[in-house]
Structure formats: structure tokens, C-alpha cells
Amino acid sequence: MDEPLLQMKNLSVRFFTYQGVVRALENVDLTIQRGEIMGLVGETGCGKSVLARSILRLIADPPGKIMGGEVFFKGEDILKVSRKRLREIRGNDISMIFQEPMSSLNPVFTVGNQMQEVVILHQKVNSLQAKDICIQMLQQVKMPDPEQILSKYPHELSGGMRQRVMIAMELSCRPDLLIADEPTTALDVTVQGQVLTILDDLVRRLGVSVLFISHDLGVIAQLCDRVSVMYAGKIVERAPVWDLFAAPKHPYTHGLLQAIPSVDEERDPLLVIAGTVPGLIQPPEGCRFHPRCYRRFEPCDHVVPHFREDKKNHFVACHLYGDE
């Protein structure tokens, strides 16, 4: 296989707060191949968004600090490039969609204004050409009457339309990698369906790689090629989407899948993962999941499990697998 588009090695991020040092990410590895949709799933506060933001160096410093690691994008370490080069990468090569489209659009400028600014900044075109590009992109995300939309303000659009504007804007510069941080969480289910279909369709057509972050395993299953499961600042399992949902290896992944009420089958009572997500100021020793794990045994509370390949392409960090 060719060199991966993005390769994250040993990334650690900490936040220095009054309460203590938050170990938000610890030695995280992640690779994204060209043209694939990589899902990143985990519960609130497990570090999904920190991971996404640190790819673009969007961690506020202070209080946050990237402690170590490398993020290679097309052979270049993003963590080491100059500010000027970083600006070129942002938006041009890697772009990002956030959860709440209202807060990522400026309320006092029209949609057209904001979209054209992005296009003019990153591609060497004049404003007329930029407008054409914008209209074209809005058609691609199936917005009715794109020219009208350009002259509207964000508050005049519905949530689903705003998120489609964001998708159009982010893809207008044909990035190689799109980071989508919970893009449909704020939307209703029928609208979520529309947005996901458009996103899926468009990125596959343009050949854009996606890092798709969600807490919703349903959305992940419908969209992604490979999935990484995060727990308390670490990736605990990574596998092709089929393997992960058919045969989850990590007890946490297994528990997550069992804890969702299903539309298709009767589950009563729901399997429960005891306890709650630990705080990251003093995460549990050894395997971070061990206090909640129903299969813990001797080494779990003091030995940190390695992230190892248990089956072809199926990685897991758990003492149940392999001999350590």
C-alpha cells in the first residue's frame, strides 16, 4: 500500500488547569489512508475532539500543550511546520467541520461573503470566479436555489442547511483530508440522514479522506470504512468496520455495542457498563478501562496493555489478547 495520507505517532496532549494536569491524549497512533473514511468513536470527554484539533494545531496554548509525538501529513510533520506553512495547510489540504454550524458561521456576514472569502484566500481566483465555484459547490450539496442562498444570513437557514453550507465551504478547496467533528449531532434524524448521504456521496466522488468523529455507533456503522474506538484518552481498538461490529474484541467496545437500545431486536434489560468515564486528571493505572471492565484479571490494574494487531488489521489494547 502507498504511504498513508496522515500518520499520527505517539501523540500526547495535556491541559494544565487549576485542578491539575489533564492527560487528554496519551501516546495515540492513528493512520488515515487516501480515500478512506476513518471513524473515531467514544464517549464525552474521551479526547476525540482534542485529537481532531491537534491535527490542525488548534489546541489553545495555554492551557493545552502538545507534549510529544508526530503528525505526518503527506510526509511533512504538521507539528513542526512554520506558522505560514500551517496556514496553507489549514483549509487547503485539511479542513474541518464542527458540530454546531451556527457557531462556526459568522452571523453578521452573508453565506456568500463567507464562502467566497475562503475560496479567494486559498485559490487564486477573482470574486466572480469565486462566486461560480460557490454556486457549484452549493449545487453539489443539493441546496435548492444556490444563488439565493449566497445572499442569505446564517440565521435565515435551518440547521441542516447550515451544515450543508459548511460542507460546501470546506470542500470548495478540494482538501485531501476532511475532519468532521460530530457534524450531525445537532440535527434531527431525518435531516441527519440527508446530510450524511450528501457527505458520503460527495467525499467518495471527490476522493477526499475523512476523519469522522461521532459518539453514535449507528452513524459510524453506516458511513465509515475503518473505526477507532477511544476511551479515556487512548485508542483501545481499531478495525475495519465489518470486523468491529461483527466481532468486537475490547470489552469496552463490546459493552458499548450492547448498551444501545436496538430498533431491530428486543434487549431487556440493556447490558450496562458499570460506573462512569473516569476523569483524566488521575486516570486509572494500568489499563484505563479496568475499574469498569467485567473481564479484568491480574495484570489489568498495573500493566498498561500494548496496542497490538490481534487479527489482520484488527488492533486492540487489552490483556485478554496475546501473551504479555
Partner 1 sequence: METSREPMTTPVIQAIDLVKYFPIYGGFIGRKVEYLKAVDSVSLTIHQGETLGLVGESGCGKTTVGYLILHLLKLDRGNILFKGVDVSTLRGHELQKIRKNLQVVFQDPQSSLDPRMLIKKTVGYPLEVNGIAKGAEVVTRVKTILSEVGLDEDHMYRYPHEFSGGQRQRIGIARALITGPEFIVFDEPTSALDVSVQAQILNLITELQRRHGYSYLFISHDLSVIKHVSHRIAVMYLGKIVETAPKATLFKHPLHPYTRALLTSVPKPDPGKRHSLEVLSGDVPSPVNVPSGCRFHPRCPEMTEVCRQDEPVTVEVETAHWVACHHPSTKNLERSNQ
Binding region for partner 1 (CB under 8 A): 43-44, 158, 160-161, 188-194, 196-198, 215-223, 241-242, 245-246, 255-257, 259-264, 267-273, 276-277
State which residue, 101 or 160, has the beta carbon closest to partner 1.
160
Minimum distance of partner 1 from residue 271's CB (angstroms)? 7
Lay out the sheet containing 37-41: strands in order across.
94-97, 177-181, 209-214, 37-41, 226-231, 234-240, 314-316, 308-311
Q: Let me know: does 90 contact 56? Beta carbons within 8 Å.
A: yes
State which residue, 89 or 232, has the beta carbon closest to partner 1.
232
Minimum distance of partner 1 from residue 48's CB (angstroms)? 12
And the C-alpha cell for 83?
506558522
State which residue, 43 or 310, has the beta carbon closest to partner 1.
43
State which residue, 116 or 192, has the beta carbon closest to partner 1.
192
Parallel/antiparallel/unpaired status of strands 37-41 and 76-77: unpaired
State which residue, 1 or 189, has the beta carbon closest to partner 1.
189
Other beta carbons within 10 angstroms of residue 134's beta carbon come to 25
Minimum distance of partner 1 from residue 43's CB (angstroms)? 4
Minimum distance of partner 1 from residue 87's CB (angstroms)? 36
* Amino acid letter for position 301: D
**What is the distance between the alpha carbons of residues 148 and 27, in angstroms, rounded to a whole number?**
48
**What is the distance between the alpha carbons of residues 43 and 256, in angstroms, rounded to a whole number?**
9
Minimum distance of partner 1 from residue 278's CB (angstroms)? 10
